[in-house]
Structure 1
Amino acid sequence: LKQEFLTTRCKTMRELDHLIAESIVVYNCYRPHLSLEMLTPDQMYEKAKTELIA
């Protein structure tokens, strides 16, 4: 997280909180992961949930 997203210095804690929250959304919802078959963590979670039901 620090190496990929938190590359700028924040002036306030509020700014830092916003940047962290935004980074988490990008990491979980938009960034595909090689170890997850090029799916996002959210996509993998939904796939696993669907496979458990079927």
Structure 2
Amino acid sequence: MTQNSDPYQNAVTERINGILKQEFSIDRYNQTTQITNQIVKEAVAYNEIRPHYSNYMITPNQMHSQSKIKMRTYKTKNSSKNVFATV
């Protein structure tokens, strides 16, 4: 998920992993790969029907299929992306 080593993408990946662990307990039991894959598929399907606060309490599919409500974004790309502090 993070081919470009983009920290914003890494944050999204970590959030997804956290949701799978906290809400669906995929790390709690010693499960086979087949069972884990099924849990992830069900989590994705649930996410498509689950209203989200950041989408003004509508589902992701509803948000993407409309054009009246502006989608909230929480990341801002800094123009000085690769600037390091000097000592």
Normalising by structure 1, what TM-score?
A: 0.70
What secondary structure, in the 3-state scheme, does the structure 2 residue paired with 1:4 have? Answer: helix
- Partners of 1:33 and 1:40 within 8 A in 2: yes
Identity fraction in percent: 31
Mark the runs of 5 or more structure 1 residues left unpaired by the alignment: none
Relative to structure 1, the CA distance from residue 10 to residue 31 in structure 2 (aligned partners, 3 Å threshold; closer, same or farther) is farther
Aligned partner of 1:41 in structure 2 is: 60
Normalising by structure 2, what TM-score?
A: 0.47
RMSD, matched Cα? 1.8
TM superposition shift of 1:5: 2.1
Which amino acid letter does the alignment assign opposite residue 41 of structure 2? A
TM superposition shift of 1:10: 4.8
Runs of 4+ in 1 over 4 A off after TM superposition: none
The within-5 A match list for 1:20-31 is: 20-27=40-47, 29-31=48-50
Looking at CA atoms only, which structure, 1 or 2, has the larger radius of gyration?
Answer: 2
Aligned partner of 2:84 in structure 1 is: none
Relative to structure 1, the CA distance from residue 40 to residue 16 in structure 2 (aligned partners, 3 Å threshold; closer, same or farther) is same
Number of equivalences: 48
